[in-house]
Structure 1
């Protein structure tokens, strides 16, 4: 079900920019824009952090303009999860007049909801202003208040409130990035509610304070609020706080760990300040035991998901689908009956086929890919109709088509915002059928193609995040994984192991991003996969490793495969399963997963695989097994020492 998205545009200058900008700046500026996004009956905007209100009840009154941004298919629950994630970026402290203001927030929100930015006349205003003589003159002032700007024009910042929100207006008297406190209760709340806090006591008449202040700012802000929280107290203003904390000289630094006083010193000693902050952070956030291990084989694991991108079978898949549709028509009614698909749907199906073929050719020739518009406007409703029309055992051509489609970034976004929960429904149905008839002829092809579709869903950040988002998507993914890992069909087990690897890789990248990445790959929070979910997955993967180590090759090897080929196939399955275990538990805190695997005696299982050399032969697999043993041991011991 779609929801309308509106952009509300306000003029913070109340018309003064339009009438005075040309004379002051030599350039016409129509308004000093503040924007908000109205969706799901609320008006969302960036001020003192992300805020919301009943539309048109904010301090800005009525908007000067209401822009229809289109409609979104994103469910409200997914939207609210996205908003929770955004709150880590758009904090009150992170506000920047030029680079991180209300208009940047509205732009990101509209891109997420409807896939298009807000008007460029709004987002380009900071750069436009900086290109004026007044803007270049004032840039140093703005950067002194908010930090360096990413905009390239030469020096110059602006008057407060010029480009954004009420936070610039409200905070116009504050020129520090680390917050100052005058309320004793507020300061105590910060100390109580944060793991590591450093309080800097200063005064207006203290010359050493002016020397150490910028060093303190740089040290605290460079560490980030997730490591340490900074606070400043001017004793010439908040003398009652000085009395309560028994601080009588400035500068004085007091350090707190989990609400308790950790250390204290007075004076403008930069080296002592730096080492004291580092010691507090180390005590508050000790390095994970995995960080000191040498994990050469784990480091060599691919940082990209295992995908099934082949487009070579397009014509074969559509031919098979046509045969199945004819069979459904024959079963449903006699001669002269209406076709399963009408003319428009038949044309749309042909467009999908031609689009996939064209995309295959463009990839092989490295030419421009077909646009999404060429796919046709009703491709998704047609896919849904085919899923609901065909018998379960004949669904695999449709799943193969979806497997090819979801590799396109824009199509993956469509399925991530799918109010009909198409992927959820498919995976849940397949898991239930496979559980009832494991490896049977009824479900083999459908199960295999569903797993490939699930793997390809990890090919883009937005869809992979959706796959592991709380609720039905995450549960159906887990259900599909657990019911297929123990399949008697080697090909299904291998593809299920690939899915386990993709899930584990997503978790590992969220906790510990690759060195060349711009940051963690977000899920929907710090690590929103609850412990029960992870424990179920880990238990199933560990069980699959045990089963794989005891599989009798002679009982599963098809006549076309010799025993050596079958052994290599089993070793590849084990390699992916062990790799997924490594990704699941690497730097996971708390280390409940490692404790569970220790209880399940997985290290002993891996030890038998290594020493007996009946299944595991490759040095890479042996090395990875040994490293996983060590990861389990060190993490489990660390967890035990905390209890």
Structure 2
């Protein structure tokens, strides 16, 4: 029997795999285009149904070739199937996809290259294209950069009929601005745009069709593809329609909107939406198999089993049935049903320390520490070179970016740090950190602290590749902070305090915050944060409580977005953070238990605890038992009265703090 192969192309030419985590905080291995190879031909959908010799399309050589099994069908039967598909994959039958380049609004379509390939594979073998290909847009397009790239990708598959002018392909530089690092973003965008402008494969005389790579609907034309569709989607909605059915045309736009709102295409917990035209391909066979006697008919499936059926164009009932299906497939987190006004009123923005120091004084102090150091490595920059970098490169940038007397706080016209400035500064920092003790480093840490309020610094840090030994400022400062925690000197205390404030400011960058939470930096930060929560100095405890809040706020922001967008809280979404979260919750509770006098510390620690606990996918399995064992409710309640938990008369004084503490104790703690 003839083999069936799936050719997989990466439209980004490998750049998505290399740079996606830096740009989006998520690993995207490719921007996929597929075709099916059988009977010595490569068939794909891009500008109509196109056929070329294998590997001879304008996409070049495939990145992967996947074995999809063998087909028992003859070539004549498959050719008849393709011919029947050609009659419907035309510009006048396919919903057009376009982008308004002034507003960047997007109109979806029903057909795309990967769904067409999936349909062919299903017809030939009964198999399905891998989910990582079909659900390509899931994670990627839910990011600002992915959304900006979407029109460029779609432009590759949106050629007009002969004689109709082509719409312009979006400018890579325009879309790249949605990324934390426009230069890196432009690299991917340019790669995709160059594919878009490449000469298309010959469409064999077929009518050119307009379509999109990112359409939310699955067009299904045969029983085997439908079975594969049900198998690959936990929740599924099928729309049986006909081109000659007026009620179908009336309800179709509503079905499309539901697919956009409730589908899987933005990485959320959603349903698969399939449209089956009973007059297309083997649609009649599929209709007979499911006893479809009238159109429109909607069927709702959970784990491949039919739950319900709706006949007729009832828009309200259709939406109700879809919502019910999703509720059954993805029960919401139990805490979403709890009223938590005090917790919900908390800002998710990072707590920052924005006081601008006297830069000349700070620089003079740091240079004196350098001059006083008797030993200096001979294999690195000299003292004069380090001081020259600080005074000639760093100081002018800091004074221009953070003018201490500027009446206008706007940053629109303020200079940003360039990679050249930051690289030179990082090299000087690494050099002086080797011979100088921690007591002599807090001035340069304070300069970096304020610099992290410049978004370009956070974005630069987020893209750095870790080195051994570390050469970036965080990698240099954190191990020394751990050493400083073992000292009781005033200089060590100053160093710890400034490092904690620097880390708080680093969380003002969304890209860097994700890296700090989900990379090798997380353990290094934790090793400084946890013991600092119990420090004897009140300012250190305040800074560490602020850092705990910022860390928890990143998690909470991701979870709130997951609920808001409909993705829901995935049980395995934070598996790599499970043990770490238990450690953090334990440390915050212990710090709350020991804090007797500082109301601001209690406020920030309680807010951090609320963020760690609320919407946690590990709440029932790990967090709730921990809260119970550590008697967290009693600890929080004790802060409301004078006694063992609070030494100030009357307990906590501020009403909003008392309300938050009581709400977390009563509603989130067992």
Task: Write the deviation string for residues 179-226 of structure 1: whole angstroms up to 9, x where unpaired.
Answer: 112354443343334332211122344443233222211222223422
- Pick the aligned partner of 2:593 from 521, 541, 546: 546
Alignment: residue pair count: 514
Distance 1:213 1:400 in 2: 60
Task: Write the deviation string for residues 15-44 of structure 1: whole angstroms up to 9, x where unpaired.
Answer: xxxxxxxxxxxxxxxxxxx87565889998
SS at match of 1:486: coil
> Partner of 1:573 in structure 2?
601
Alignment of 1:91-110 (within 5 A): 101=155
> Partner of 2:100 in structure 1?
none
Task: Write the deviation string for residues 481-530 of structure 1: whole angstroms up to 9, x where unpaired.
Answer: 11211222222111110000111111111222599x9999xxxx965752
Distance 2:143 2:182 in 1: 20
Of 304-313 and 371-380, the range deviating more from structure 2 = 371-380
Distance 1:216 1:577 in 2: 46
Of 300-309 and 243-252, the range deviating more from structure 2 = 243-252
> Partner of 1:4 in structure 2?
none
> Partner of 1:275 in structure 2?
320
CA contact (8 A) 1:457 1:463 kept: yes
> Partner of 1:372 in structure 2?
417
CA contact (8 A) 2:241 2:275 kept: yes
Alignment of 1:429-444 (within 5 A): 429-430=479-480, 432-434=482-484, 437=486, 439=488, 441=490, 443-444=492-493
Q: Which has the higher helix share?
A: 1
SS at match of 2:382: coil
- In structure 2, do the counterparts of structure 1 residues 611 and 192 end up closer, same or farther at CA, with 3 Å as the change threshold? farther
Distance 1:446 1:528 in 2: 34
Unmatched tracts of structure 2, length 5 or more: 1-10, 21-28, 35-54, 62-135, 157-168
> Partner of 2:343 in structure 1?
298
- Pick the aligned partner of 1:232 from 268, 272, 275: 275
SS at match of 2:353: coil
- Pick the aligned partner of 2:658 from 608, 622, 627: 622
Distance 1:279 1:167 in 2: 44
Kindly indicate whether residue 572 of structure 2 is the aligned counterpart of residue 587 of structure 1.
no
SS at match of 1:198: strand
Distance 1:597 1:168 in 2: 65
Kindly indicate whether residue 205 of structure 2 is the aligned counterpart of residue 172 of structure 1.
no
After superposition, the CA RMSD in angstroms is 4.6
Task: Write the deviation string for residues 284-328 of structure 1: whole angstroms up to 9, x where unpaired.
Answer: 344444334333322332332111122223222212211211121
> Partner of 1:9 in structure 2?
none
Kindly indicate whether residue 549 of structure 2 is the aligned counterpart of residue 501 of structure 1.
yes
> Partner of 1:241 in structure 2?
286
SS at match of 1:530: helix
Alignment of 1:381-392 (within 5 A): 381-392=427-438
Unmatched tracts of structure 1, length 5 or more: 1-33, 50-56, 64-81, 127-160, 550-566, 637-643
- In structure 2, do the counterparts of structure 1 residues 84 and 99 end up closer, same or farther at CA, with 3 Å as the change threshold? closer
> Structure 1 residue 573: deviation in Å?
0.6
Task: Write the deviation string for residues 400-429 of structure 1: whole angstroms up to 9, x where unpaired.
Answer: 121122221112222112224525534541
> Structure 1 residue 353: deviation in Å?
1.9
Distance 1:241 1:83 in 2: 28
> Structure 1 residue 451: deviation in Å?
0.7
> Partner of 1:353 in structure 2?
395
> Partner of 2:129 in structure 1?
none
Distance 2:301 2:464 in 1: 46
SS at match of 2:306: strand
Alignment of 1:605-616 (within 5 A): 605-612=635-642, 614=646, 615-616=651-652
CA contact (8 A) 1:178 1:231 kept: yes
- Pick the aligned partner of 1:412 from 458, 475, 481: 458
SS at match of 2:356: coil
> Structure 1 residue 454: deviation in Å?
0.8
Kindly indicate whether residue 239 of structure 2 is the aligned counterpart of residue 200 of structure 1.
yes
Distance 1:386 1:349 in 2: 11
Task: Write the deviation string for residues 558-586 of structure 1: whole angstroms up to 9, x where unpaired.
Answer: xxxxxxxxx3xx11111110011112222
Distance 1:514 1:83 in 2: 16
Distance 1:118 1:307 in 2: 31
> Partner of 1:147 in structure 2?
none
SS at match of 1:361: coil
SS at match of 2:521: helix
CA contact (8 A) 2:300 2:306 kept: yes
CA contact (8 A) 2:504 2:546 kept: yes
- Pick the aligned partner of 1:190 from 222, 225, 229: 229
TM-score, normalised relative to structure 1: 0.68
> Partner of 1:639 in structure 2?
none
Distance 2:552 2:153 in 1: 35
> Structure 1 residue 630: deviation in Å?
3.6
Distance 1:438 1:167 in 2: 70
Distance 1:606 1:221 in 2: 44
SS at match of 1:369: coil
> Structure 1 residue 273: deviation in Å?
1.2
- Pick the aligned partner of 2:627 from 568, 591, 597: 597
- In structure 2, do the counterparts of structure 1 residues 514 and 194 end up closer, same or farther at CA, with 3 Å as the change threshold? closer
SS at match of 1:255: strand
Task: Write the deviation string for residues 150-175 of structure 1: whole angstroms up to 9, x where unpaired.
Answer: xxxxxxxxxxx976898998993769
Distance 2:554 2:614 in 1: 12
Higher relative contact order (CA 8 A, sep 6+): 2
- In structure 2, do the counterparts of structure 1 residues 255 and 454 end up closer, same or farther at CA, with 3 Å as the change threshold? same
Task: Write the deviation string for residues 539-596 of structure 1: whole angstroms up to 9, x where unpaired.
Answer: 11111111214xxxxxxxxxxxxxxxxx3xx111111100111122223334243443
Distance 2:146 2:345 in 1: 40
SS at match of 1:407: coil
> Partner of 1:48 in structure 2?
33
> Structure 1 residue 457: deviation in Å?
0.6
